[in-house]
Amino acid sequence: MSTNTILIIAILIFAPVFGVLLYNTYQEKKYRDSIRAQFGHADKDALMESHTHSVRDGQQQAPAAEAEAAPRLQPAFVKFSRSSEPAAETHVAETPAAADSAPAEPVLQAEPAAEAPAFNFQPVPAAAPSQTQAPAKRKLLLDLQDLAKQQLPWFDSRFDYLCYISLKEPQELHAMPRLSSRHRFRIAGCTMDDRFQIAEPIPSVYYQGFVIGLQAISRNGLASIADLEQFGEQANAFAEKMDGGLLLTDIDTFLSIARPLDDLCARVDQTIAIHLVSRNNVSGVELRNAIERQGFELSHDGMFYLNDAKGRPLFAISTLDNSAFTATLLSTQNYRGISMLFDAPHIPDGEKNFNRFMDIAVKLSSMLGLDLVNDKLEELSTQWLKEIRSYVVARQDEMKRVGIEPGSELAKRLFS
């Protein structure tokens, strides 16, 4: 058989095979083009041939924002009032831009008329992630605005810079927070029976919320804006740790009230000192006996104090150089004299008690042979004593006009 004959037979045999392969390739290409026309474009829906809105298109990322905001419940510095309604009740329809960009599930609709540009979509709220859904729906146990209206006996809004914390669920206070290194503060807690008490880390005592007050006025002066801001940051961190909401007093509003009060405190905060000086020396034993006969007692801080009927210090006696009295030194040492101290803001009924103060000074002077002198070592005159008494009365009257009774707990807080 010739070569040509063999070639013809081969062509006749393999031609149908190649034809089938070419046909299959053509059909496969046609099918791929059809699929690509439906699914290949990023903005093409395979079922409805219309554009869809992606979360990233609107740059809103609503679920992520809710997931981040839900646990914090906006516990930042508050110059605004938070609504007591939960965030989950906010309707998307109130903000059109947010509604357009919210995740939506397409709803199949009938084929529109030819003139309609595109299919419409009905927004369907997407479920929040399981780990954030519950916190988003939890409400605060106490309304922060109502909490701010409570009149608590441990605080005075004129000089206590207050913050309010409401929790999402009852919690124990395991440890006292560190909120200030320069100023005193107090924490009152609201227990489950809606009663307030000074908060302490006591097991099985659960709190719904807290009121924290930073004492911004004392003998150290008025707390600075930086001090108040730092306290706010520390209180905010405490609120976050307890998973609660925070409300802070506005700093400018607070200082507009605190500054005039601090000015008054600086003006009336006077300690009158009368010195009893010996021309020679007086023994410590004789000195102690005379002082204790007037009702004074030696304290652990190295000073003698005369207490009132309630056991609170009224007058004080120190050494001339402010060194400490001790039992050992008093039994072995001689002294040049003593200083009697009248702390005007801490002593009630200034006129009456100043007269008593002077009576004791005169008695000690007579018993020990000491001279009564002022800071300049000038002998005291009767006129000078009258002027000092009038000065004390005038300063205490200033205190009373703003509701600060001399010798009261309020006065002791401010002048400490």
Q: Say what the pLDDT of residue 1 is.
A: 61
Stated pTM of the model: 0.62
Whether 220 contacts 182, CB under 8 Å? yes
User: Percentage of the chain surpassing pLDDT 70?
Assistant: 73
- Name the nearest CA neighbour of 214 among 187, 252, 236: 187
Other beta carbons within 10 Å of 247: 23
Whether 316 contacts 393, CB under 8 Å? no
Buried b (16+ CB within 10 A) or exposed e, 381-415: eeeebeebbeebeebbeebeeeebebbeebbebbb
Q: Say what the pLDDT of residue 279 is.
A: 86
Set out the domains of the chain in order of their start, with CATH numbers.
144-265 (3.30.1400), 269-414 (3.30.1400.10)
Distance between CA atoms of residues 86 and 127, nearest Å? 16
Q: Say what the pLDDT of residue 176 is.
A: 85
Cα-atom radius of gyration of the chain, to the nearest Å? 42
pLDDT digits (tens, 9 = 90+) for 329-387: 999 999 999 999 999 999 999 999 999 999 999 999 999 999 999 888 888 888 999 99
Instruction: Tell me which H or E stretch contains 205.
Output: none
pLDDT digits (tens, 9 = 90+) for 89-115: 333 333 333 334 444 444 444 444 444
Q: Say what the pLDDT of residue 347 is.
A: 95
pLDDT digits (tens, 9 = 90+) for 228-253: 999 999 999 999 998 899 999 999 99
Q: Say what the pLDDT of residue 18 is.
A: 77
Q: Say what the pLDDT of residue 32 is.
A: 63
**Cβ-proximal residues to 175 (8 Å cutoff; 6+ apart), any chain:** 201
What single string gives the DSSP state of each residue in 360-399?
HHHHHHHHHT-EEE-TT-PBP-HHHHHHHHHHHHHHHHHH
Residue 141 has pLDDT above 60, yes or no: yes
Distance between CA atoms of residues 416 and 414, nearest Å? 6
Other beta carbons within 10 Å of 173: 18
Written in H, E and C, the secondary structure of 326-353 is CHHHHHHCEEEEEEEEEEHHHCCCHHHH
Secondary structure (3-state) at 248: strand
Q: Say what the pLDDT of residue 269 is.
A: 94
Whether 337 contacts 291, CB under 8 Å? no
Instruction: Tell me which H or E stretch contains 75.
Output: none
What's the token pair of residue 158? Answer: 């004129």
Distance between CA atoms of residues 308 and 323, nearest Å? 25
DSSP bridge partners of 212: 163, 187
